[in-house]
Amino acid sequence: MQTGQLIASKGDRLTTFMAASSISAGIKEAKVYKRLSVGVFSTGDELIDFQQNLNAGSVFDVNSPMLTSLFSKWGVQVTELGKVPDNLETLRNKLE
C-alpha cells in the first residue's frame, strides 16, 4: 500500500482487506452503517407456493422469492415473513 492510496469509498461494503488495510495505515476508527434489514411477506388468499399444484383461482407467489433474492443481492438482510391472508386484522398484526 502506498501513501495516499484510497482504501475505501463512501458506500463501499467493508471487506476484510479494507479492514486490514485500514489497520496497517493506522486508521483506528471509521464511520460505518448497520446493514439494512427488511421483512418480506405476500398477501392474498389466492397465493400458493411454487412447489404446490396450481389450481383454478390460485396464483404462484412469485413476489416473495423475487424480492428476497433482489434484496439479498444488494446485501440487505432479509427476514421471510410468509403469506398473509386477505384479512385486514391479520395484515395489521403482521405489520406491527
Q: What is the pLDDT of residues 23-76, one digit of tens each?
A: 988 888 888 888 899 999 999 999 998 888 888 999 999 999 999 999 999 989
pTM of the entire structure?
A: 0.66
Q: Cα angle at 31 between 27 and 34, to 5 degrees?
A: 130
Q: How far apart are the first and last CA of the chain?
A: 49
Q: Is the pLDDT of residue 11 over 80?
A: yes
Task: For residues 72 and 36, give the distance between their C-alpha atoms in angstroms, rounded to a whole number.
Answer: 10
